Amino acid sequence: MELWQYILYGVGALLCAFVVVTLIRAAFFNEKKLDLPPLPDEDVDVDRALESLSSAIQIPTISYPEHEKVDWAQFAAFREFLVERYPRITQTLTRELVGEASVLYRWAGTDPSLDPIALLSHQDVVPVTPGTEGDWTHPPFSGHNDGEFLWGRGSLDMKNHLICVMEAVEKLIAEGFTPARDVYLCFGHDEEVVASDAAGAKSIAELLKSRGIHLDSVIDEGGAWLKANVPHVLNDRWLAGIGISEKGYVDFEISVAAKGGHSSAPPNHSALGELAVAIADVEKHQFKPKLFPFMTQLLANVGRAGTYPVKLLLCNVWLLKPVIKAVMRRIPMAACMVRTTTAATMAEGSPACNVLPQKASAIFNFRMMPGTTIADVERHLHRVIRNKNVQIQFVKGKEASPFSPTDSRAFKVMAELCKQMNANSIVAPYLVMGGTDACFYEIVCENVNRFSPFEITAELMGCTHATNERIPIATVGGGVAFFKRYIRKLANNE
């Protein structure tokens, strides 16, 4: 045999061995069995919690970027509602008004040497798009309970979370529980207002910092139990994504100045034409996808829970990284999890059909992966836009959050509770695509996690910020039980 034949046979044998090893590996690529004891039953008054949530929804605490547009009396009414509805909390915890309408509760612990924990929620909701009120099956601020769902703005984002925290604390006090660590309840008032100077959560975090407080952990909205029933991939599972970071956000305006004039004697390219080329330049140069450790962990956990073909594919994530990235970058819903996204959003030219623009501009909105900064994005724009007459102007932005560790006590408690409370959970760390109040607490905490303990379908998820926002009433009791257990475990190691 000649040398090339030896090489060919050698390569063939290696490939065969690899296929055989993968086939066997996939067969044993199963979920790790966690040896967790069953949780004792939790005393939860579900009817009371549902009534509380319904009442909370009926107070339209809508936030707007324009201060004068906000009905501050509704926020005052909401605070008053909390005071009256939760007499034990009112008696036992201290309460401070922070900024315009944010609330900070402190439940004093018995051991001041321990770092406190914080549970976050926002009181505000987004408005109902004018003209769509009639599209709702039940009015958006009715808090109507039809026996299956509780309807209304805030039922998922996130008065459900806030009310379940309050119900849990009220019940724990009634049961005689005293925390060892201080427990803070931080309820901002302007999370839904997209502005980098959102004042509520930021003010609370800065207040805590000014008092020299360092938090053991923070829990806020972000992930949830999301129904995952994909034929031939996952059978009747729930994806419990615990958000350990959130993407950054930045808007840049790109613009071209020109002489303008009458459109009857135009140059070959108007300012708008030049701008169009620049927009194409930016869209052509997308940020490179990267599989962060959280993503490989998420894929591996899904693989372990999946059908055999899925196991076959995902038991070798390390090897298939280039293929996975190539596939994910083609699907917008997947691409946003592996790369900094680029979206051209608003464009403007001249004010009339027969007027050449004196300035043409467009906005690019980027959502950055952790590790990519606003300055990186600006450098990227300067590099990829070939026309150097194009002006690049920062508008507003917020850096991406660092990743919270997944080996912290807080993450472990959450992951275990997810598994114990829903045996069909696939628990994994994940990256929150939108913004939350949680990011402001990075100045006082390293363990910032984002999870709402509710079982939700993708369809319901689509109703947040939209028409027919509603929560299945069957998941509300679990929310209260989750927070009772979470507080006991994290504040007292019970």
State in angstroms the smallest separation of the CB of 436 from Zn ion. Answer: 7
What is the DSSP secondary structure assignment for residue 462, as one 8-state letter? Answer: T
For the chain, helix, strand, coil in percent to 5 are: 40, 25, 35
Stretch that binds Zn ion, among 150-158, 162-170, 329-337, 447-455 (CB under 5 A): 150-158
- Calpha distance 74→70 (Å, rounded): 9
- Calpha distance 440→456 (Å, rounded): 26
Report the residue number, 157 or 251, with the smaller CB distance to Zn ion.
Answer: 157
Is 216 among the residues that bind Zn ion (CB under 5 A)? no
State in angstroms the smallest separation of the CB of 120 from Zn ion. Answer: 10
For residues 414 and 229, is the Cβ–Cβ distance under 8 A?
Answer: no
Is 439 among the residues that bind Zn ion (CB under 5 A)? no
Report the residue number, 222 or 289, with the smaller CB distance to Zn ion.
Answer: 222
State in angstroms the smallest separation of the CB of 162 from Zn ion. Answer: 10
Residues touching Zn ion: how many (CB under 5 A)? Answer: 3
Report the residue number, 157 or 170, with the smaller CB distance to Zn ion.
Answer: 157
Of all residues in this chain, which one has the CB nearest to Zn ion in the complex? 157
Query: Which residues lie below 8 Å from residue 142, measured CB to CB, with a gap of 6+?
Result: 57, 58, 151, 152
Report the residue number, 158 or 250, with the smaller CB distance to Zn ion.
Answer: 158
Is 157 among the residues that bind Zn ion (CB under 5 A)? yes
State in angstroms the smallest separation of the CB of 196 from Zn ion. Answer: 17
Stretch that binds Zn ion, among 155-163, 259-267, 288-296, 386-394 (CB under 5 A): 155-163
Is 432 among the residues that bind Zn ion (CB under 5 A)? no
Single-letter amino acid code for the residue at 337: M
State in angstroms the smallest separation of the CB of 49 from Zn ion. Answer: 19
State in angstroms the smallest separation of the CB of 288 from Zn ion. Answer: 30
- Calpha distance 259→257 (Å, rounded): 7
State in angstroms the smallest separation of the CB of 154 from Zn ion. Answer: 9
State in angstroms the smallest separation of the CB of 201 from Zn ion. Answer: 11
State in angstroms the smallest separation of the CB of 262 from Zn ion. Answer: 49
**Interhelix angle for 72-85 vs 46-57, to 10°?**
160
Stretch that binds Zn ion, among 16-24, 98-106, 156-164, 442-450 (CB under 5 A): 156-164
- Calpha distance 493→110 (Å, rounded): 13
- Calpha distance 397→205 (Å, rounded): 19
Report the residue number, 156 or 410, with the smaller CB distance to Zn ion.
Answer: 156
**Interhelix angle for 374-384 vs 271-284, to 10°?**
120
3-state DSSP assignment of residue 206: helix
Applying the rule CB under 5 A, the residues between 158 and 187 that interact with Zn ion are 158
Stretch that binds Zn ion, among 217-225, 326-334, 384-392, 412-420 (CB under 5 A): 217-225
State in angstroms the smallest separation of the CB of 456 from Zn ion. Answer: 13
- Calpha distance 168→479 (Å, rounded): 9
Report the residue number, 154 or 289, with the smaller CB distance to Zn ion.
Answer: 154
Report the residue number, 193 or 305, with the smaller CB distance to Zn ion.
Answer: 193
SS (H, E, C) 43-59: CCCHHHHHHHHHHHHCC
Per the document, the length of the chain is 494
Report the residue number, 157 or 190, with the smaller CB distance to Zn ion.
Answer: 157
Is 220 among the residues that bind Zn ion (CB under 5 A)? no
For residues 213 and 445, is the Cβ–Cβ distance under 8 A?
Answer: no
Report the residue number, 107 or 225, with the smaller CB distance to Zn ion.
Answer: 225
Report the residue number, 344 or 466, with the smaller CB distance to Zn ion.
Answer: 466
Stretch that binds Zn ion, among 71-79, 221-229, 374-382, 439-447 (CB under 5 A): 221-229
Stretch that binds Zn ion, among 215-223, 234-242, 246-254, 415-423 (CB under 5 A): 215-223
Is 487 among the residues that bind Zn ion (CB under 5 A)? no
- Calpha distance 231→444 (Å, rounded): 44
Distance of CA 347 to the CA centre of its chain: 28
Applying the rule CB under 5 A, the residues between 19 and 78 that interact with Zn ion are none
Query: Which residues lie below 8 Å from residue 314, measured CB to CB, with a gap of 6+?
Result: 29, 299, 300, 302, 303, 304, 306, 320
Do strands 359-367 and 249-257 pair parallel, antiparallel, or not at all (unpaired)? antiparallel
3-state DSSP assignment of residue 196: coil
CA atoms within 13 A on the CB side of 424: 11
State in angstroms the smallest separation of the CB of 402 from Zn ion. Answer: 21
Q: Which residues bind Zn ion (CB under 5 A)?
A: 157-158, 221
